[in-house]
Amino acid sequence: MVWRAQPHSLLAGHCLPPGGEMPDPYKLMMDPYLSLMTAANATTTLKLGTGIALLMERDLFSQAKTIATLDRLSGGRVMIGTGVGWNQEEFENANPHPFRKRYTVLRETVEATRALWTEEEAGYNGTFVNFDPVWSFPKPLQPGGPKVFLGAMGPVGVKHAASWADGWYPVDVALGDVAASVAAFREQVKEAGRDPDDVEINIQIMDTSNMDKLKEYRDIGIQRATIGVNMELWDKPEAALPMIEEYARIIPALQA
């Protein structure tokens, strides 16, 4: 499976990652949906995911159509990883909603997008997202549309993932005890009145991965792991080839 990140609209200001300077690779990110269409054209069974797409920072109607088109042209292989982002200035530049309400805005954005994917005439009436009934075609090939995974590690984000997302998409190094975090998340899913088996967990591995770690994650109920090259290699696709070859050997053993 391939996961593609969304490019950021960088702004001057105080909202920078730890360390104080904006990493140059953020400026090099291509559009995730066009990139995934290229991957779809070159493959037949590869799953196509965004990791992550900032759904709130794009036009709702255009984005729903783009994702639906990608899903239909790829044969129903799309998965959407989303989140609220970390850059407050970027968020406020892209939409009029308050940053402190970003998780509610995201939930409404996902609900409204789902309505556009599934209803003949779709309208939505929320606190932040509102529109009268409209037509939106094509519909995704997958019934109900692609699954939406919420990338979140903090308590508010994890609570939202447990209550409405199709899946949870954490970063392993941010969790500390991964097994305990997965168990706690599944309990939150139960408390939200949902079946934990219906909410998938996809984990982003940021540290060195090996067979033992992948087996551990599989055995505690994580369905999928996302593994990539370091940020400084984002513009060097050739760096990913040895990794792809390595995991082509490992994956069959994990599935046995």
The closest of 81, 154, 87, 80 to 117, measured between CA atoms, is 80
Query: What is the extent of the structural domain holding 170?
Result: 2-255
Query: Taking each helix axis from N to C terminus, what angle separates 240-255 and 211-219, rounded to the nearest 10 degrees?
Result: 50
Q: Is the pLDDT of residue 4 over 70?
A: no
Q: What's the CATH number where 38 sits?
A: 3.20.20.30
Number of domains in the chain: 1
pLDDT digits 0-9 by tens, 164-222: 999 999 999 899 999 999 999 999 999 999 999 999 999 998 866 788 889 999 999 99
pLDDT for 248 equals 85
pLDDT digits 0-9 by tens, 7-45: 555 554 555 555 567 777 777 788 999 999 999 999 999
Would you say 73 and 25 are in contact if contact means Cβ atoms under 8 Å apart? no
Would you say 226 and 203 are in contact if contact means Cβ atoms under 8 Å apart? yes
80, 240, 247 from 210: Cα distances, Å? 26, 16, 9
Prediction pTM value = 0.92
Burial of residue 22 (number of CB atoms within 10 Å: 0-12, 13-18, 19+): middle
- Collapsing DSSP states into helix, strand and coil, what is residue 130? strand
1, 103, 118, 150 from 128: Cα distances, Å? 34, 11, 21, 19
